[in-house]
Amino acid sequence: RAKKSAPFGLCHISDDGMQEFDRYLAIKSHLRQALEKQELSLSLQPQVNHQGVTTSFEALVRWHSSELGTVSPGDFIPIAEESHIICDIGNWVIDETLKTLKQFIARGFDLCVAINISAKQIVQLDFASSLLARVNYYGIPTQMVMLELTETALVVDIDTVKHTMDQLAKCGFRFSIDDFGTGYSSLAYLKELPISELKIDKIFIDDVSTRSNHNGSPIVDAIIDMARALNVTSIAEGVETPEQVEYLISKGCNRFQGYYFSKPMPVEHWHNTNLSTKTSTNLK
Ligand code: C2E
Ligand code: MG
Ligand code: MG
Ligand code: MG
């Protein structure tokens, strides 16, 4: 971890800081070729209802670099977001996700998909028209596509983002606010945006009763209530234990996503899975 700057403007960089900076530069330079070299892939993680039935998937990008090995999205997405590369990666993810969804539909499954959209992507002037063109190209009903935006992405340029969201919502696309509760948003402007879902961040789900702690979480309760007040659904991310599921169901959270049900798995895995069955037999 890089040390804080020393006082009086002197900057001391530790060995750790130097290594971190080297890694940053390495990721930044190799990321440019990741697409051409076909090093990106897609994983899908199920989102389930109270019956444990998969209703949708979240698409999560994966990068296996020939030089750096596997790099997690938590490490390379923020670097991609510093430049236009995030748009190229984002477009690749959209295309690959729609292609996969089309294959699921052809197998007779009625599923939706959630795609993460960065701030830089959503403010592109042609974002709405190009997404619509691609969805039409694949012949996918717009209602099957949920777009995940973080609160931070909303506030970057709220007027542009609202305009694009309104345009897309009119066409049938839905929006989920990702990592909800970790950013800055208020009921006042959330109700102005065409939102369908609040996604409760994992850090709040982590607070919810484990075997040793049955306290629950006032923040989780408040977000579920806020979703209800806004007339949108709630989904919990990072659900890992049956106690969390039980608590969330008792509070009226609508859907769940997390390792308890399934880790994100490569697309090929899902092509060989009967998607109409329960993801987890653990759920009552
Ligand atoms: P996110 O959108 O909040 O995605 C949830 C993250 O939590 C994923 O990490 C997922 O693998 C992980 N996760 C899900 N369930 C559990 C659980 O039960 N326990 C734990 N410990 N983790 C769980 P991942 O795949 O590493 O992605 C990290 C972040 O990178 C994502 O957070 C998202 O912000 C970003 N990201 C991933 N794919 C894309 C993409 O295609 N485009 C954009 N713009 N961002 C992406
Ligand atoms: Mg997400
Ligand atoms: Mg999230
Ligand atoms: Mg998160």
Q: How many angstroms is it from 149 CA to the middle of ligand 2?
A: 8
Q: How many angstroms is it from 74 CA to the middle of ligand 4?
A: 10
Locate the ligand 1 atom nearest the alpha carbon of residue 42 and give its number: 41
Which ligand has an atom closest to residue 261 CA?
1
Number of H helices, E strands in the chain: 12, 10
pLDDT, residue 214, reads: 63
**Any ligand 1 atom below 6 A from CB of 236:** no
Strand-pair category, 145-150 with 112-116: parallel
Ligand 1 pocket check: which of 45, 60, 147, 177 to mutate, most ligand atoms within 8 Å of Cβ?
Answer: 60
User: Tokens in use for 91?
Assistant: 């477009």
Compute the 3-state secondary structure of the chain and give helix, strand, coil in percent, each to the nearest 5. 45, 20, 35
pLDDT, residue 246, reads: 95
Locate the ligand 1 atom nearest the alpha carbon of residue 199 and give its number: 3
**Any ligand 1 atom below 6 A from CB of 114:** no
Three-state DSSP at 135 gives: helix
pLDDT, residue 188, reads: 74
Rounded-to-integer distance, Cα 104 and Cα 97, Å: 11
Say if the ipTM goes beyond 0.95.
yes
**Any ligand 1 atom below 6 A from CB of 183:** no
Ligand 1: residue whose CA is nearest its atom 41: 61
Q: What is the pLDDT along the chain (284 residues), one digit of tens a residue?
A: 444 444 555 667 788 887 889 999 999 999 999 999 999 999 999 999 999 999 999 999 999 999 999 999 999 999 999 999 999 999 999 999 999 999 999 999 999 999 999 999 999 999 999 999 999 999 999 999 999 999 988 888 999 999 999 999 999 999 999 999 888 777 777 889 999 999 999 999 999 966 555 668 999 999 999 999 999 999 999 999 999 999 999 999 999 999 999 999 999 999 988 876 554 444 54
Whether pTM > 0.90 for this model: the answer is yes
Locate the ligand 1 atom nearest the alpha carbon of residue 148 and give its number: 2
